[in-house]
Structure 1
Amino acid sequence: MHSPEFVIRSTTAGDWQAVRALRLEMLRDFPIAYGETLEHALDVDEEGWRLRGARGERADQAVKVAVDGDRWVGTMAGYIPDATTGPMLVGVYVAPEYRGDAAGVSRRLLEAVENWALGHGDTLRLEVHETNARAIRFYEKLGFTFTGRNRPYDLAPGGLELEMIKPLR
């Protein structure tokens, strides 16, 4: 049983071990959702994980985590790939036992990233693999719509990354 009193916060360089553990959990749960293979993530050294954790300390990025006691139960991040497209939502993951509206983890993480994104644009964009029906339903429920744009997914098994967007204002 999990606590309804989880905390949403930004990551730091000092969180590197928890950042690593959650990333490996994410990649094991749904390998095609994160643009990285498990094998690659396992080869990242401590300094690399510290750099990833430090992304949450930057103004031009947001890396939010949901923490229930000592357990990291979810994460979402935002960054600005370029000035024309504005903020982008990436790295969305919630542990299976914390998924669903009743738990509230997904909505609170998204709210934290949206609050950051408001300082950088009027919309929040994301890409989702065409076979990730669960994620697509979640994004649609929270106000994201398809733009009609897509790009090839870089890793096996291939397929398409579909772009979705949500107005923030």
Structure 2
Amino acid sequence: MAIELRSVTPEDWQQIRELRIRMIEDTPIAYAETAESARAHSEVEWRARGERGQASHSLTIVAIDETGAWIGTMSGFVHTEHGPLLVGVFVAPEVRGRRHGVAGALLSRVEEWARGEGETLTLAVHEDNARAIAFYERCGFIATGETEVYPLPPHGSEIVMRKPL
């Protein structure tokens, strides 16, 4: 499958909104935001999210298939405590798995960016998101032993994982 990876822009605000709502509906424990609250955001908020694709010390990239459909995304920003932080990870169900290579391609691009920002890449993943945890472990992330409280129902903890770059 041929995919294009590119940074998002403010002009992409409608696609960013649609993809974000799809992400939340697919895996509600992954984004610390409800679909209802995402739907309530104004165009100004969505355009601001699009600016993250162009801002210094951050990145938001999207995977687009040959039909123009947005099939995945990953973001990163420099956190004052952790350095480069991976957030907003999503791959559409129909293109998940190693045979499609979407997640791996997105992560490679984020890691390339993160190398310019620090020596490790950190993430937090909900303890009940076994699929994501397995992917991160396959990609070399290791649980640090740190956890964070997940703020929305069903609550629980997020596991902090880190990968040397």
Work out whether the TM-score is over 0.5. Answer: yes
Identity of aligned residues (%): 51
Alpha-carbon distance in 1 for matches of 2:52, 2:59: 7
For 1:121-160, list aligned pairs within 5 A: 121-160=118-157
What is the TM-score with the length of structure 1 in the denominator?
Answer: 0.95
After superposition, the CA RMSD in angstroms is 0.7
Aligned to 2:75: 77
1:50-82 per-residue CA deviation (whole Å, 9 max, x = no partner) reads 111111011211101000131000000001121
Amino acid of the residue matched to residue 88 of structure 2? G
Alpha-carbon distance in 1 for matches of 2:78, 2:119: 12
Amino acid of the residue matched to residue 119 of structure 2? D
Aligned to 2:38: 41
Moved over 3 A (4+): none
Give unpaired runs (5+ residues) of structure 2. none
The secondary structure found in structure 2 opposite 1:21 is: helix
Number of residue pairs aligned between Structure 1 and Structure 2:
164
- Is residue 2:107 matched to residue 1:110? yes
For 1:2-17, list aligned pairs within 5 A: 4-17=1-14
1:116-161 per-residue CA deviation (whole Å, 9 max, x = no partner) reads 1011100000000000000000000000010000011111111001
Give unpaired runs (5+ residues) of structure 1. none
Alpha-carbon distance in 1 for matches of 2:148, 2:115: 26
The secondary structure found in structure 1 opposite 2:33 is: coil
